[in-house]
Structure 1
């Protein structure tokens, strides 16, 4: 009974989260944008005008994605402009079939190639592709071309005005949604970390799950960063925005802290095997912090309901008492197990303090109590897209995945449209629509979307047949069409199969309002979808395929470069001390983003045919190695940022320099500046750490027996942590070039 209640509670919670999501709010906005022009058109006897304005609003809507309002409106207006230009060109494509097909291919290629400028550009590009496909549907056939194009522009402006109005009615909606999502993902990350502490037999699966959560968390960080920082730089600073920026900063630090602890599982396994109680306490602490972050997420708008977590305090005290007991039971007052546990506890204390700081910020402290983030420095954290002409020229080559995708799409749409005409398909443009929705630069994603689109269409067709057999009421059809459209658009990012189901229902019910032979519509809808899905999959498989192994070499290069720059910033700060620079934080951000890109690339590689998964085990090994390397960097970074440290020693700089040399060697291999089969000439690499630092932390007899002052303990902890992390980083940096030499990137 309790399990059933939990399932029901979870289902209601998921449903509640869905209704609060930006996907649902955008779907409602789109529903309003599409229905009002048609209703007004019907009332005024100008239905064709209403439909054309609706088409304009639909073509503008793909660019309405989360981010700053300025970027959003700019995207909507550019999508509208592109849709108008393409619709104008499309109106004059009633030419000979032999001329039409190559012109169609060229246009598809050119419009698709715009996506070379990034994610928002790809959505603008989709609006252009969608407009080209709709030009074959004769939506505004009875209207003069210039009028229909202008009305499409009116539709785009109408949607932009609605988006601005929606933003000012619900200004906090996107911020609260993505902040809540970040809190929940951070909570999930901590929970998986807790599971990893105890799990020994199935760690590889948990690590994969951890990487997946980290990818989503990093992407959400980017979206939230754009919303928060762009809004501040564009419209000044408010108390609300300032607090949210500071909460976001705490969450970024929490991810770094979570990655920093623990790193070397072999050591923690050995320690906790003898002290299982300590393991349980650390795990309970991580779970308690995860639960508290969920509670914060659920009470973002009602922070006064938040209660301080007693479980976190209890776990911290239990761990502290256990460490003191361990210290009193051992003759060696500075044994490495005791130092490691003490450092782990410090990390967890920092994590608990971050949660307390978030709660404090939410409970409306006075403005003078809040330290603000410099707006000029904050702009450095935004990922800027280069929009110059040089980008177009540089990517105009078969080495570019977007160029190959655009070329592939152009060829496949020519084949699809030609097949539709040849076999007298009722609506050949439906094949084109399926192609532009399904086809993606990578084979794995295209195959997945093809399968989901086909299954969703079949499910939608079956449901539509059932509803048509039950009723022929056109009012019910109209209501179901609107509801289906809203649900479809709200599910596109969450569940593509469900979205395809409701899109099919929408199309069927719209046609049911226009023509009596509804079963024929359903039949051709299914047929066109199967043809389009099949062509999309075959196109990605046979035409200039962009296998992930061909691009992962560059992804690895960017990741290792980012890690090296981050390490150099850490070394620089450790040597100079002082204020943490914006360059340091930007280097950290880029390192995390690069790691997310590498993890995503590996996941895409696993979706490709087995014949193209070259050196998959080695790629996985190097991906995990980079993730562990970043965790170790985070551990070192977190310690030196949050503790007073002694001057960096010559030994530290000597080993750090060797680590950087190793990373540069790995970069040179990836850039093919060093032959992959070359032999490492430096024979002292294996011994550099021991010869520099010694095999263990050295303390004189006098130091071991002297009173344990806090200052002395801090110095010993610093020596232990820095020594262990350097040793770990050196070992991993030595392994990278060796692994890269074994991977076949051709």
Structure 2
């Protein structure tokens, strides 16, 4: 991926150099910056970055024109412009514009000559940056394009193939099948995440509208559900001995698995067809009807009492397996229907623009205030020492001043190292091959590949590519002084940013993780409570829990990112190791618990109304309360270990349910209920036990006390 991106960026830089290196364009460095800053792997990302670059320049230019007309050009003005323009963009939800607002504020005030006519300067910079943005977008679109729709189709096809393999392996059973099953499910997860990332960064522009029109967000949601159902089905393989009912129904399950394979092959052919080729609907018989053979035989075993010959534990696991299998087959049937609907062209989506105001968190306001103060002081330092390219110091500071100390340290480190690699590449090329479009392209490619080799992201290679391209295109007559001056000023800006990040009240990732964990565990308790309350009172909880589910998912992802940032904040190696171990443990169980609660929700979605659960209402209510207390105890256990007695008591209601269920089976009471109701109830019971066992295992494996 990086090789492809490096070659495309090099081609774009070469084209820009060929067009404008010897032209009359006064400030060629700005098209270079516009190109490097917006040249990303997908058209959607490039369009978004281009809009942010140009829009951010316009917003900052308007504020700069107003502020400079009142206060004149001085270091304080730069900080005021950055603060007001950034808050304005946050208020309107224009996230893509915020980074360019800071850069433009540093440029327009960092060089006093630019601040004399801010309005004219703004127009010129938008024009100059626009040249780079247009070249970047054109190359991204026409040269070796990413083709997100085809990639999403490929991922979906591969996920279906892995789903087929998983079902075959589950039916086979055995240790070898378990190993292959784990690999297949891991591959499905990896492909689903890749699809989510690809879709997210491809939604800008007309290609994005096509993906929305094809409803790929819903197709990716189906990919996640397929994996979740497969994962639930694997619970039957976790037993020490193979489930006897799974062995008994091997023939029927093999026939069903063969039918699934046939349908998946037809669906994959449907996926691979181009839209224009889809003239007739292929015959895809519903899979759900093939379950009837298994269900009819199982119901006959219930009526004759044969099912009582099998232990309750095995019956619960087999019924849970059938419930998950039913949901998997329903998902495949719905997927086939959805893809067939896409055969017909749908009306184009209307694009509408609507402004809305967004709240700005206090922490974000404090961050922009810190950056504004640091920018003003940095510009004052640059002016005092009469630095030739003092605005580069300010630019580097804006890049390295991040919401958390860890993120800032990482961004600063990458910027310095990336600029250093760019400096070495530029000196080598300008003193050997000279300055022309080919060396510009070669320098950009080598810088990107070098940064990738040392594990640097875009924050690193952008600084290096800026230096290489500008040194070769603009300062080729005196390259050495410019290159090392640029590197020194970048290093100085990063150093000042680190000092301000530490001296001004710092926001650290380390300080944010524990409150985030506490909040997410409490949200998990609330989610579990709402799902169980809706089940016990026969209400619909889907609408109420959707926002909560999104909050939990976002919280877990945020904590994972914060943990990564915290690794560069903690200097004490011993304390860092203990904290990282604790956070790994907590975040891992957050994900596990979230997945288990999801399984419970899906089992409840399949539940049919009836009187079976009424027999166990007191125990179910008790199990609900015990699990809520246990999850909340985890939220409070960040400061002290959880109470082990609480987790022992948590399993008692489920044991009572299983005892009553055994008596009901022996007396034949359960045979008076519909087969579908019994299966769904057993699936719910299995999901409840999984949640309780996960919580108990979490309490048992609790790591050592967190250091003070």
TM-score by length of 1: 0.65
Per the TM alignment, residue 181 of structure 1 is displaced from its structure 2 partner at its CA by: 9.1
The 5-angstrom pairing of residues 247-258 of structure 1 reads 247-257=219-229
Name the SS for the 1:472 alignment partner. Answer: coil
Change in 2 beyond 3 A, CA 1:60/1:473:
closer
Deviates further, 661-670 or 527-536: 661-670
The answer as to whether partners of 1:212 and 1:599 remain within 8 angstroms in 2 is: no
CA displacement, residues 459-510 of structure 1 (integer Å, 9 cap, x when unaligned): 22222222222222434455557x669x969x99x97447634642443332
Deviates further, 715-724 or 154-163: 154-163
Per the TM alignment, residue 455 of structure 1 is displaced from its structure 2 partner at its CA by: 3.0
User: Which residue does the alignment assign to 2:513?
Assistant: 552
Name the SS for the 1:336 alignment partner. Answer: helix
The answer as to whether partners of 2:39 and 2:137 remain within 8 angstroms in 1 is: no
User: Which residue does the alignment assign to 2:200?
Assistant: 223
CA distance in 2, matches of 1:587, 1:297: 36
The answer as to whether partners of 2:509 and 2:565 remain within 8 angstroms in 1 is: yes
The 5-angstrom pairing of residues 366-405 of structure 1 reads 367=344, 387-388=357-358, 391-392=359-360, 395=362, 400=363, 402-405=364-367
User: Which residue does the alignment assign to 1:11?
Assistant: none
The answer as to whether partners of 1:185 and 1:217 remain within 8 angstroms in 2 is: no
Change in 2 beyond 3 A, CA 1:564/1:430:
same
The answer as to whether partners of 1:49 and 1:151 remain within 8 angstroms in 2 is: no
Change in 2 beyond 3 A, CA 1:557/1:215:
farther
The answer as to whether partners of 1:88 and 1:145 remain within 8 angstroms in 2 is: yes
The 5-angstrom pairing of residues 464-613 of structure 1 reads 464-477=426-439, 496-497=456-457, 500-501=460-461, 503-515=463-475, 516-575=477-536, 581-609=542-570, 610=573, 611=575
CA distance in 1, matches of 2:277, 2:315: 39
User: Which residue does the alignment assign to 2:603?
Assistant: 639
CA distance in 2, matches of 1:514, 1:418: 27
CA displacement, residues 67-117 of structure 1 (integer Å, 9 cap, x when unaligned): 999x99986775243231355379789989xx63x5545555555566766
CA displacement, residues 508-533 of structure 1 (integer Å, 9 cap, x when unaligned): 33233333111222222332333344
Q: 2:60 aligns with which of 51, 60, 83?
A: 83
- The answer to whether 1:722 aligns with 2:699 is no
Per the TM alignment, residue 131 of structure 1 is displaced from its structure 2 partner at its CA by: 0.5
Q: 2:657 aligns with which of 693, 718, 725?
A: 693
Where does structure 1 lack aligned partners over 5 or more consecutive residues? 1-13, 233-237
CA distance in 2, matches of 1:591, 1:182: 26
User: Which residue does the alignment assign to 1:3?
Assistant: none
The answer as to whether partners of 1:81 and 1:153 remain within 8 angstroms in 2 is: yes
Q: 1:624 aligns with which of 574, 581, 588?
A: 588
CA distance in 2, matches of 1:352, 1:126: 47
CA distance in 2, matches of 1:301, 1:500: 39
- The answer to whether 1:131 aligns with 2:101 is no
The answer as to whether partners of 1:659 and 1:729 remain within 8 angstroms in 2 is: no
CA displacement, residues 147-195 of structure 1 (integer Å, 9 cap, x when unaligned): 222334556788999999999999x988627846975997899899999
Q: CA RMSD in A?
A: 6.6
CA displacement, residues 431-466 of structure 1 (integer Å, 9 cap, x when unaligned): 222222233222333333333333333322222222
Q: 1:433 aligns with which of 395, 402, 427?
A: 395
CA distance in 2, matches of 1:581, 1:230: 32
Name the SS for the 1:698 alignment partner. Answer: helix
Name the SS for the 2:238 alignment partner. Answer: helix
CA distance in 2, matches of 1:294, 1:529: 54
Per the TM alignment, residue 728 of structure 1 is displaced from its structure 2 partner at its CA by: 3.5
Where does structure 2 lack aligned partners over 5 or more consecutive residues? none
User: Which residue does the alignment assign to 1:655?
Assistant: 622
CA distance in 1, matches of 2:38, 2:11: 12
CA distance in 1, matches of 2:502, 2:154: 36
Per the TM alignment, residue 346 of structure 1 is displaced from its structure 2 partner at its CA by: 4.8
User: Which residue does the alignment assign to 1:337?
Assistant: 314
TM-score by length of 2: 0.68
Change in 2 beyond 3 A, CA 1:228/1:462:
closer
The answer as to whether partners of 1:456 and 1:500 remain within 8 angstroms in 2 is: yes
User: Matched residue pairs, number?
Assistant: 664
Change in 2 beyond 3 A, CA 1:41/1:243:
same
The 5-angstrom pairing of residues 61-460 of structure 1 reads 66=44, 78-85=55-62, 87-88=64-65, 100=75, 102-108=76-82, 121-135=94-108, 138=111, 141=114, 144-153=117-126, 176=149, 179=152, 183=156, 220=197, 223=200, 241-257=213-229, 260=232, 262=234, 268=238, 270-271=240-241, 299=272, 332-337=309-314, 339-341=316-318, 343-344=320-321, 346-347=323-324, 350-351=327-328, 354=331, 357-358=334-335, 361-362=338-339, 367=344, 387-388=357-358, 391-392=359-360, 395=362, 400=363, 402-410=364-372, 412-413=374-375, 416-417=378-379, 420=382, 425-460=387-422
Per the TM alignment, residue 658 of structure 1 is displaced from its structure 2 partner at its CA by: 0.1
Per the TM alignment, residue 595 of structure 1 is displaced from its structure 2 partner at its CA by: 3.0
The answer as to whether partners of 2:378 and 2:394 remain within 8 angstroms in 1 is: yes
